[in-house]
Structure 1
Amino acid sequence: MALSGMTGFARVSGTYAGHSWQWEVRSVNGRTLDLRVKLPSEVSAIEPTVKKAFSDIFTRGNMQISLSLNADDKGGTVAINEALFDTLARFVEAKGGNSNLAVLMTIDGVVTQGRGSTDEVAQEGLEAALIQGATEVATTLKQARDDEGAALLPLFETAVSALEKLTIEAAEAAATQPKSVADRLSDQVKDLAVDIDPDRLAAEIALLATKADVREELDRLTAHSEQARALLSQGSPIGRKLEFLSQEFNRETNTLCAKSSDITLTRIGLSMKSVIEQFREQAANVE
């Protein structure tokens, strides 16, 4: 499966029995799948089916889905909701404003345009055509999000490669830490100009070297890199798993920096944190 992003736009239009329609959908990042559908009142019954068409394809993202539907003027009717108009006018006046007829007539629900008499069979055919259009626009959006995912994949691969390289460098730097700890403690003892039992000094050196040992953190960083490559090869939906993995990368790197007693190892750790932040930012864009 391909890696899929969460941003995209799609539009599909068509006609059916004297009606023209156009679906539009806009998708942005989201922690869950949030579908907001705007339909003309005369076809509002298809909303659950439309939502299912999208939820069958997507697992994450905030989507604004809208349908515009136009009918031939033949047999069409225009109705004005006078009760709603009067309510709005009174509300405006109560707030000290002046009712503007032209503005009030543009509010949803004040003016509705019918399609004339439509039998049940024709209505079912229209709704079926619109549902098919919704499926098409969902598929078109999926392609747009897949294109984004294809652009993101090399960024993840570059980040994982950088982390693997830095982990190797960190292991090389960490290998010198025991000697550095021993030399530093020995020099401090000499500066104090006091006699310390060699066995006691050796025990202290061993204790400090143990506290500075980062092999466990390096092993986990290597395992996390392997897991990242495995996830990327699976394809979406893996966005949440990548976000969690970025937290684990960061946790191990923080511990590595805290244990570091060598400037070189500390610099490598800071470089890791920079790469991990880039990884985390991109993970937030993945379905």
Structure 2
Amino acid sequence: MITSMTGIASAKGDAARYSWTWDLRSVNGKGLDLRIRVPDWLDGLEAYLRADLSKAIARGNVTLSLRMTRGEDAGGLVLNAAALNTVLDALAQVEADAMDRGLTLGPSRASDLLSVRGVLETGGAEEDTAPLVNQLRAEFNDLKKSFVAMRLSEGQALSAVLSEQLDRIETLTAQAADLAEARKDAVAETLKANLARVLDNAEGADPARVAQELAMLAVKSDVTEEIDRLVVHVAAARDLIAKGGTVGRKLDFLMQEFNREANTLCSKSQSAGLTAVGLDLKAVIDQMREQVQNVE
């Protein structure tokens, strides 16, 4: 089964003094681009998440974020005595300088001093984050499974759409083959007229050159190879979809081949009906190529 590069998963958790929210999502991309945002105080977590995701998916622009919230009991505010003494010394110096100049300053408030950066700090002893990191790792495994499952589900829906488009291409290719067969008499008459025109003006011409020009006229009107290659491409695309796995790049390359054959078919059609079928082919191929961009 093919996998889509589009997916999303989220989860919430809590333990002890912490609560958190996971958010994991991806969109299509040429390769694998992982953008991970987790708190840097969770030692080793980012490296683990990056390695784990790299094993689970092969392509896509992936964004993973972890938002942590610390509870009120995670540590109160503690007075930094050294910082307070520094502030008080500075304040005393300011008041002394003001008195020397005959200035009287208003009384300082404790709230003003406490608002100075560094005077109050988050308290609490240094804690071992290893148990929390282990719990987050275990929880991420479930998040990853949900994420991968969604990409697979999206891939299943994508597979159905691509199969319908291949059916349409196959039908149009069969119509093109029928139209090409039906116009054989008209093409033959055109070639005869061209041959007569060439022979009428071929006096003194190089016979080899004349034969070459005639062969080129025949080739320019023959769409058998284009139709045969379209049939082969349809079979190849179906095999890739059935095989599944990381086949997005191969399908994208195959779409280029589809488009090339449809373009050549239109340029060699020499028939309004065949041209119309060729244009329909190009439209379906273009729609299919847009869908293929989402295949991992």
TM-score of the two chains, using structure 1 as the length reference: 0.76
State the partner residue of 1:221.
Answer: 230
Whole-angstrom distance in 1 between the partners of 2:143 and 2:226: 47
State the partner residue of 1:97.
Answer: none
| Alpha-carbon shift at residue 66 of structure 1 (Å) | 0.8
Q: Which moved more, 1:59-68 or 1:37-46?
A: 37-46
| Alpha-carbon shift at residue 215 of structure 1 (Å) | 1.4
From the superposition, tell whether residues 64 and 205 of structure 1 become closer, same or farther in structure 2 (CA, over 3 Å): same
State the partner residue of 1:116.
Answer: 124
Residue 211 of structure 2 corresponds to residue 212 of structure 1: no
CA contact (8 A) 1:76 1:114 kept: yes
The aligned amino acid for 2:71 is: D
State the partner residue of 1:106.
Answer: none
Find the residue that maps to 2:241 and give its secondary structure.
helix
Q: 2:246 aligns with which of 237, 243, 247?
A: 237
CA contact (8 A) 2:12 2:19 kept: yes
CA contact (8 A) 1:4 1:237 kept: yes
The aligned amino acid for 1:36 is: R
Find the residue that maps to 1:117 and give its secondary structure.
coil
CA contact (8 A) 1:21 1:69 kept: yes
Whole-angstrom distance in 2 between the partners of 1:34 and 1:77: 40
TM-superposition CA deviations, 1:116-146 (whole Å, max 9, x none) = 32444xx211111111222222211112222
TM-superposition CA deviations, 1:242-269 (whole Å, max 9, x none) = 1111111001111111122222211111
State the partner residue of 2:274.
Answer: 265
| Alpha-carbon shift at residue 231 of structure 1 (Å) | 0.8
Write out aligned runs for 1:51-70 (5 A): 51-70=50-69
Q: 1:252 aligns with which of 261, 277, 286?
A: 261
Write out aligned runs for 1:123-134 (5 A): 123-134=129-140
Find the residue that maps to 1:43 and give its secondary structure.
coil
State the partner residue of 1:49.
Answer: 48
Q: Aligned residues: percent identity?
A: 38
The aligned amino acid for 1:45 is: G
Structure 2 segments unaligned to the other structure (5+ residues): 84-117
CA contact (8 A) 1:173 1:264 kept: yes
Write out aligned runs for 1:170-185 (5 A): 170-184=176-190
Structure 1 segments unaligned to the other structure (5+ residues): 83-109
From the superposition, tell whether residues 188 and 39 of structure 1 become closer, same or farther in structure 2 (CA, over 3 Å): closer
State the partner residue of 1:163.
Answer: 169
| Alpha-carbon shift at residue 14 of structure 1 (Å) | 1.9
| Alpha-carbon shift at residue 21 of structure 1 (Å) | 2.1
CA contact (8 A) 1:53 1:134 kept: no
Quick check: which has more Rg, 1 or 2?
2
Aligned residues: 248
Write out aligned runs for 1:97-116 (5 A): 116=124
From the superposition, tell whether residues 56 and 246 of structure 1 become closer, same or farther in structure 2 (CA, over 3 Å): same
Whole-angstrom distance in 1 between the partners of 2:12 and 2:268: 61
CA contact (8 A) 1:236 1:286 kept: no
Whole-angstrom distance in 2 between the partners of 1:241 and 1:161: 19
State the partner residue of 1:35.
Answer: 34
The aligned amino acid for 2:125 is: S
Q: 2:293 aligns with which of 274, 284, 287?
A: 284
| Alpha-carbon shift at residue 115 of structure 1 (Å) | 8.0
TM-score of the two chains, using structure 2 as the length reference: 0.74
Whole-angstrom distance in 1 between the partners of 2:77 and 2:8: 33
From the superposition, tell whether residues 78 and 223 of structure 1 become closer, same or farther in structure 2 (CA, over 3 Å): farther
| Alpha-carbon shift at residue 206 of structure 1 (Å) | 6.3
The aligned amino acid for 1:156 is: L
Whole-angstrom distance in 2 between the partners of 1:146 and 1:115: 47
Find the residue that maps to 1:175 and give its secondary structure.
helix
> RMSD over aligned Cα, in angstroms?
2.9
Q: Which moved more, 1:36-45 or 1:215-224?
A: 36-45
From the superposition, tell whether residues 215 and 186 of structure 1 become closer, same or farther in structure 2 (CA, over 3 Å): closer
